[in-house]
Amino acid sequence: MTYPENPTENSTENSIENPFGTSITEADILAQIQQCQGWEQRYRQVIQWGKKLPTMPESLKAEQVLVAGCESQVWLVGQQVNGVWQFCADSDARIVRGLIALVLAVFNGKTSEQIQQFDVEGYFESLGLMQHLSPSRGNGLTAIVEQIQTLAVEQQ
């Protein structure tokens, strides 16, 4: 599923400023998470990133853009603009919003090829989060990544 037509128009509905992948990058995430002492501090940091994630407009939260395999509701849309992907995602759970932010930091602004080649497992391993997530949260996170990769392959 993609954004509605003409997403670059100055409409509030379609104009979503997302710092993840632009001003908050993979390197920023890794550096900040490595400064955290222990799981609790990492968990709080992930929630803080979730608070910075722009809220998805209600008009985009349709059933057809729900990510299957997530315990919480997760909506994901993406659009390729000038050869790179821009994603918008949201969730009804605070921790999941933070996990979405971690994913968008590495996939927003990337080409389909870069998305397919990115070592997601290595990234999650370096963050040290997966072993602390419940199996259902871990499966949901994987489902979000797989949905992004599927979109990137379909539109290649």
Q: Does the residue 128 lie in any domain?
A: yes
- Residue 44's pLDDT is 94
- Residue 154's pLDDT is 87
Q: Does the residue 131 lie in any domain?
A: yes
Q: Does the residue 19 lie in any domain?
A: no
Q: What is the mean pLDDT of residues 70-86?
A: 93
* Confidence at 4, pLDDT banded by 50, 70, 90: very low
Question: Using one digit for the tens of pLDDT, what is the confidence trace for 97-135?
Answer: 999 999 999 999 999 999 999 999 999 999 988 888 889
Mean pLDDT, the chain, as a whole number?
86
Given the residues 46, 56, 60, 70, the one annotated as active site:
70
Q: Does the residue 69 lie in any domain?
A: yes
The CATH number linked to 124 is 3.90.1010.10
Q: Does the residue 110 lie in any domain?
A: yes
- pLDDT > 90: percent of the chain: 71
Give ∠ CA 73-76-80 in degrees, rounded to 5: 180
Catalytic residue at 70? yes
Q: How far apart are CA 68 and CA 11, in angstroms?
A: 29
- Residue 140's pLDDT is 92
Asked if the model's pLDDT at residue 14 lies above 80, the reply is no
Q: Which domain holds residue 95?
A: 26-155
Q: Does the residue 85 lie in any domain?
A: yes
- Residue 103's pLDDT is 96
H-helix segments, the chain:
26-35, 38-52, 94-107, 112-117, 120-127, 135-154
Asked if the model's pLDDT at residue 40 lies above 50, the reply is yes
Number of domains in the chain: 1
36 exposure class (CB count in 10 Å sphere: 0-12, 13-18, 19+)? middle
Q: Does the residue 9 lie in any domain?
A: no
Q: Does the residue 14 lie in any domain?
A: no
